[in-house]
Amino acid sequence: MSLSPPMPPFNSTDPTASFLSSSALDFLLIELVPLAQRVTSQRDFPSSSATQNPDGVTSSSHHRKSDSAAAAHHPPAADSPKRIDDEEHLDAVHLRLESQGYRVGQGLVERFSRDRPRFNDTLDVIKFLCKDLWSLVFGKNIDNLKTNHRGVYVLTDNAFRPFSRMSTETGSQAVLRAQPFLWFPCGIIRGALAALGINATVQAEVNELPAAIFQIKTIAAKP
């Protein structure tokens, strides 16, 4: 689906307008995930972070090697407390990042859609998100938009800006590590849609870096 160029998100002649360095925003988007991990560990899981230094790593490499050797001889059970704690920690980080993105998405829409004409339907809202909002936050349009015309929209960014700015190894491990960096943008999408009166769920996946795919499923309002 083709997308026309976005409208300017600001008035450059406005003397009260304030601007932000795009590089500063890039660094912030990259650092959000490790920051959320540290804050979650310290506030929600203080016992698990007690053996870690402020950088979130153990203080002794010898200790790490000993733990690895012990784990090799005595692998943890499928439902061991350690694994459950890790999953709970990951869920807490996900919730924190998605909630932060949700608030940002709401604020962006309130600020940058107020001078636009009223949207005719959900597809117009999605196009606004793909063009104006995405360009405002990530410096480019969504590359591809697909829909089944039954409330499901798939947005593809072939060069997702945070991924393009990060240095990482290739392979499945890199894809796995990249997943948490999609939680904040998912929140932005959901918050923006909510501010425009659309209730939806948003999921994202990475098949090959630096591309990112976002799936939006709108939820019909209850009668």
Closest residue by Cα to residue 161 from 26, 5, 6: 26
Query: Is the model's pTM score more than 0.85?
Result: no
33-70 residue pLDDT tens: 999 999 998 887 776 554 444 444 444 344 444 344 44
The fold for domain 23-47+81-218 equals Muramoyl-pentapeptide Carboxypeptidase; domain 2 (3.30.1380)
| CA 72 remoteness from chain centre | 34
Mean pLDDT score, 161-186: 83
Helices 22-44/81-112 angle, 10° precision: 140
- Written as one string, the DSSP assignment of 137-203 is HHSS--SEEEE-SSSEEEEEETT-HHHHH-----SHHHHHHHGGGGHHHHHHHHHHHHHTT--EEEE
Mean pLDDT score, 129-135: 94
